Amino acid sequence: MVDKLKQLVVEEEGQGMTEYGLVLGLIAVAVVGALAMLREEIIEMFDDVVGIVQNREDTP
């Protein structure tokens, strides 16, 4: 029984997956932060595209 508990403490197989999860979480936070900082520019870009598409529909 004691040997099994020692193996649980020493076992490192799941450590890699935990690290990948933490890195993925950090990347997700960075992407959300970047999108929040660029919000106005993104909205302006989409508004420009909508204006171009609407102008093309109006011209025969």
Q: Confirm if 57 and 50 have CB atoms less than 8 A apart.
A: no
Q: Name the residue type at position 13.
A: E
Cβ-count burial 21-56 (b if 16+ within 10 Å, e if not): eeeeeeeeeeeeeeeeeeeeeeeeeeeeeeeeeeee
What's the DSSP call for residue 24?
H
Say what the pLDDT of residue 43 is: 97
Domain count, the chain: 1
Is 0.75 surpassed by the pTM of this model?
no
In tens, the pLDDT along 1-59 reads 777 666 666 656 667 788 889 999 999 999 999 999 999 999 999 999 999 999 887 77
Q: Name the residue type at position 29.
A: V
Q: Name the residue type at position 47.
A: D
In which domain, by residue range, is 52 found? 1-58
